Structure 1
Amino acid sequence: MTLRRTQKLIEQSDPELYHLSLNLRGRMGLSSSGHEAEYEPYDLVLHDTSRPHLIRATTSHGEDTILGTGLFIPRKLLPLSDKVIDSLIMQRLSAREGIGALLAQFLTQVNRDSGSYRPDDGPRLGTVAINLLSALFTHALDVSGSLPPETHRQALVLRIRAFIQQHLHDPHLTPRTIASAHHISTSYLHRLFQHEEETIAAWIRHQRLDHARRDLADPAQRTTPIYAIAARWGFPRASDFTRAFRTACGIPPKEYRHQHTVE
């Protein structure tokens, strides 16, 4: 099997996605940017839909089938610089142990059990996938001691973002507690996020409101009280949540829910 993405195809349509391929059976070869690499079963490899590439999948000796799966990731969900991506593109990432094995198990199980999931499970599964992928990339960057300081800075930012996603429910999640959990000073934490699009406090608030908005629009959670959804995402005071939600979305949460769950 051959998959070819040319510059002409990219110019016609570029969804700006990363693609993580998981090879499960057979051999896979990837050519991109003048480089070539071969991958064995249970190797993970990252490539970019914005770059021309050629993928060749062939059977191994004694086998008559090839098998694999993959994950498309919107660029905006992994705010990495081109330099960091260059260090990860085509790098062989193991799915045989550690975080890579967890990610491989997740991808294969979701693929195998796809019929048992509902459409509104998608965002939750996506959050799990992004957290696992961020952890895998952070590990890959950490073990590469020859990478420049900027790459290590972004690896730390990735780790912090994953930590925040896991603790959004905690109303005591603050820059101070985040800095303490990562053994850095609060001032250094703020300096890390000076290079990002939002301050760390703004990013936490954005993530909490985004998850709450998603739950409010979920028909399956129509009977869940708004204050319970607010508390779930780190807003213990309903009045604080209503004020923050109205500021971000232009309407109060009750009206937002009505607009998005009315039959």
Structure 2
Amino acid sequence: MADVPGTEKGERTVRGREGAVTARGADAWAQVISESFVPLSLGSVSDEFRGSVRPSDLGPALTLTDVRTHGHSVVARTARLVRTEPSDDCLFSLHLEGEGAVVQGGHEARLRPGGGALYDTARPYELRFPTGTRQLVLQIPRQHLSDRVGRVEDLCGRALPAGQASVRVLTACVKELADTGDRLTVAERAELGTVAVDLLASALRAGAGGDGPPDGRTALRLAMRAFVRDHLADPRLTPEALARQHGISVRYTAQLFAADGTSPAAFIRAERLRAAHRMLVDPRFAGFTVSALAARCGFTDRTTFTRAFVREFGLPPAALRAARSRSTRT
């Protein structure tokens, strides 16, 4: 194990085996959770507070983190942090032990063991934990969910109860992923991560009153968009492969994407670039080279990736990462 410098005297952050990070004290915990999820502000904590996180990568854009705390705490995503440290992810907390609450958009979701709640990093929220807890937190790009459930904003800050049948199925899946994820291959984790997002979408729809997904052309278009986002790492993902997967012609596939003002090839490329951008500015991926991150997003050639990235974002990927690193140190 190794201590991580930069915290106040008497506080420490320790990196253990299997990627677990343990923090003692308020400042150390604030650093750990901000690096693990999005920048956050820590309110009151107990004097002997300690917590740990163990993240697991389930694909280019999906993360499952096992969070354990001892002592009470209050965590906030303030309006200032939303402005200065923007994010477009959603977080779903599956509560396993202790008590807690998610407050967002005028709603307060009470967290009980076996239940959970969704919250949105693009808007302020507060997490209140009067006791020690254990949670499994799924971090998902908003678009991955909105393709499945529609308006994500309407589903945030509302409790999904443990007794709901779809929540019980979701809980079983997510717990198994947390417990066995380190024994799965990268491809298996990505595939099962997609299953977890689908189960979450089902639970959210059931919790909202049982509304089903849209029908007809819209449903097929949304399903294809979701499939692209869930399989960005596969370099074999092409418009032809997408059409085959859904049993339709390439021409009809092009017509469906034209309804959104784009083409299948352009959509695949844009989503891969957005995924790469997210990882380049995410401290959780600081240990990966640019080439490795490009490969995780389906780019097999570094030069092709860099040219496409510059056209999309105006600067090379390495320059973006360096600029982001400087901004977080100041």
Q: 2:123 aligns with which of 39, 47, 51?
A: 51
- Match of 2:116, SS? strand
Structure-2 separation of matches of 1:37 and 1:208: 34
CA–CA distance in structure 2, aligned partners of residues 104 and 175 of structure 1: 35
Q: 1:206 to 1:83 in 2, by over 3 A?
A: closer
Report if aligned partners of 2:224, 2:246 keep a CA contact under 8 Å in 1.
Answer: no
Map 1:135-214; keep pairs closer than 5 Å.
135-140=198-203, 146-147=211-212, 149=214, 152=219, 156-157=223-224, 159-162=226-229, 164-165=231-232, 168-170=234-236, 173-184=237-248, 186-194=250-258, 199-205=263-269
Counterpart code for 1:135 = D
Change (3 A) 1:165 1:176: same
Identity between Structure 1 and Structure 2 (%)? 24
Is 1:248–2:308 an aligned residue pair?
yes
SS at match of 1:193: helix
Given residue 66 of structure 1, which amino acid in structure 2 is its aligned partner? T
**Number of aligned residue pairs:** 218
Question: 2 CA distance for matches of 1:28 and 1:154?
Answer: 38
Offset of residue 47 of structure 1 = 0.4
User: Relative to structure 1, is the Cα distance of residues 165 and 50 closer, same or farther in structure 2, using a 3 angstrom cutoff?
Assistant: closer
Structure 2 CA distance for partners of 1:207 and 1:33, relative to 1, 3 Å: closer
Shift of 1:175: 2.7
Instruction: Tell me which residue corresponds to 1:116.
Output: none
Q: Within 2, Cα distance between the matches of 1:219 and 1:24?
A: 35
One-letter identity of the residue aligned with 2:107: H
Q: Which one of 118, 134, 138 corresponds to residue 67 of structure 1?
A: 134
Asked whether 1:21 is paired with 2:87, we answer no
Deviation at 1:156, TM superposition (A): 1.8
Unaligned segments of structure 2, at least 5 residues:
1-71, 281-286, 311-315, 320-330
- Please identify which structure carries the higher helix content: 1
Amino acid at match of 1:85: V
2:160 to 92, 104, 108: 92
Distance 2:306 2:108 in 1: 51
Q: TM-score, normalised by structure 1?
A: 0.54
Counterparts of 1:24 and 1:184, CA distance in 2: 42
SS in structure 1 of the partner of residue 265 of structure 2: helix
> Which protein has the bigger strand share?
2
